[in-house]
């Protein structure tokens, strides 16, 4: 099992550009999550999904969009990138609810200049 | 509402010394509690979790944590620190009722000095 994979590992965007962060899991997990991590701020939940076709907002959804067309994939879309979106982004998955272990990808380091 | 407080954003210990990382939670219902570890330039991985079974929970790499309801605490300990324990440690909470999401602490960075 590859677990949770994320691409790309690094990316530099210019202000106003758009991009999609890819996340794939091969564990047949129902729940998937997108977090951003900023120094000293812990993890902030952006969006999560409880199954294919079902997504919901987390704490900091503004400026992002998600979709979940399959169990395996949960891409995160950034529209009109802003410097405030400079961060490290982590995708995670769990079998069912929040009380189950979350498995994290290696992260994407995004810089917006 | 649930919340998690990790006391001390940075902790430094000597190799071989006791590691104690503090986590206090707030929850009006019985909680599920977690400790995750993040090694440099990696994603997070589960160290251990409490889900209403034994109050003393053993995890990977010699770590353990004790759930103390009276103190609303879930402190993480390891008897003897190793250089490889240097990492960021996160405490998190959820509960059985509406547990779609974890509530995360801000993290504690552990440095281990030779």
Portion of chain A with pLDDT greater than 70, in percent: 100
- Contacts B94 to A, Cβ<8 Å: 97-99
pLDDT confidence bin for A7, thresholds 50/70/90: very high
Name every residue whose Cβ is closer than 8 Å to that of residue A108 and which is 6 or more positions away in sequence. Answer: A6, A7, A8, A9, A10, A11, A21, A88, A89, A90
The Cα A9–Cα A42 span in angstroms is 20
Mean pLDDT, chain A, rounded, equals 95
Q: Which pLDDT tens digits describe chain B residue by residue (114 residues)?
A: 788 999 999 999 999 999 999 999 998 888 899 999 999 989 999 999 998 778 999 999 999 999 999 999 999 999 999 999 999 999 999 876 666 788 999 999 999 999
CB pair distance less than 8 Å for A42 and B107:
yes
- For residue A39, what pLDDT is reported? 86
Residues 6+ apart with CB under 8 A from A59: A44, A45, A46
Residue numbers in B near A90 (CB within 8 A):
43-44
Q: Which one of A3, A4, A40, A99 would you mutate to disrupt binding with B, by most B Cβ within 10 Å of its Cβ?
A: A99
For residues A6-27, give the mean pLDDT: 97
Please indicate whether, in this complex, the C-beta atoms of B101 and A45 are within 8 angstroms of each other. yes
- From the number of C-beta atoms within 10 Å of its C-beta (0-12, 13-18, 19+), residue A16 rates as exposed
Range with lowest mean pLDDT among A8-22, A24-38, B14-28, B91-105: B91-105
Q: What is the pLDDT of residue A78?
A: 96
Q: How high is the pLDDT of residue B98?
A: 62
Residues in chain B: 114
Whether B25 and B3 have beta carbons less than 8 Å apart is answered as yes
How many beta-carbon contacts under 8 Å exist across A and B? 55
Closest by alpha carbon to A99, among B60, B47, B106, B50?
B50
- Please, which residues bridge with residue A110 across strands? A11, A87
Q: What is the pLDDT of residue B94?
A: 87
pLDDT in the model for residue B97 = 66
**Tokens found for residue A83:** 């410097």
Which has the closest alpha carbon to B22: B96, B75, B67?
B75
Query: Best mutation site among B44, B51, B59, B107 for testing chain A: the one with the most A CBs within 10 Å?
Result: B44
Q: What is the structure's pLDDT at B56?
A: 95
- The DSSP line for B52-113 is SS-SEEE-GGG-EEEEETTTTEEEEEESS--GGG-EEEEEEEEESSS-SSPEEP--EEEEEE
Q: Residues in chain A whose beta carbon is closer than 8 A to a beta carbon of chain B?
A: 4, 31, 33, 40-43, 45, 48, 50, 56, 58, 90, 92, 97-99, 101-107
Q: For residues B108 and B12, is the Cβ–Cβ distance under 8 A?
A: no
pLDDT at A48: 95
Token pair, residue A56, equals 């919901």
Q: Identify whether the C-beta of residue B37 lies closer than 8 Å to the C-beta of residue B47.
A: yes
Joined together, the tokens standing for residue A40 give 């000293």
- Residue-wise pLDDT for A61-112, tens only, equals 999 999 999 999 999 999 999 999 999 999 999 998 778 899 999 999 999 9
């Amino acid at each position: 099992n590859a677990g949770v994979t994320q691409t790309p590992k690094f990316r530099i965007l210019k202000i106003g550009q758009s991009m999609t962060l890819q996340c794939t899991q091969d564990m047949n997990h129902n729940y998937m999550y997108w977090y951003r991590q900023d120094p000293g701020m812990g993890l902030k939940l952006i969006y999560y999904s409880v199954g294919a076709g079902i997504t919901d907002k987390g704490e900091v959804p503004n400026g992002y969009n998600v979709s979940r067309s399959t169990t395996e994939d949960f891409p995160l879309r950034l529209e009109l990138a802003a410097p405030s979106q400079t961060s490290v982004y982590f995708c995670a998955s769990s079998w069912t609810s929040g009380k189950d272990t979350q498995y994290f990808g290696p992260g994407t380091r995004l810089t917006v200049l | 509402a649930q919340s998690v407080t990790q006391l001390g954003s940075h902790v430094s210990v000597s190799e071989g010394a006791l590691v104690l990382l503090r986590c206090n939670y707030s929850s009006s219902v019985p909680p599920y509690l977690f400790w995750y570890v993040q090694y440099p330039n990696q994603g997070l991985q589960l160290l251990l979790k409490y889900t209403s079974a034994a109050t003393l929970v053993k995890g990977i790499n010699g770590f353990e944590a004790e759930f103390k309801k009276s103190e609303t605490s879930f402190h993480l300990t390891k008897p003897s620190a190793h250089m490889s324990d240097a990492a960021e440690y996160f405490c998190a909470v959820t509960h059985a009722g509406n547990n779609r999401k974890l509530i995360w602490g801000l993290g504690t960075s552990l440095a281990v000095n030779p």
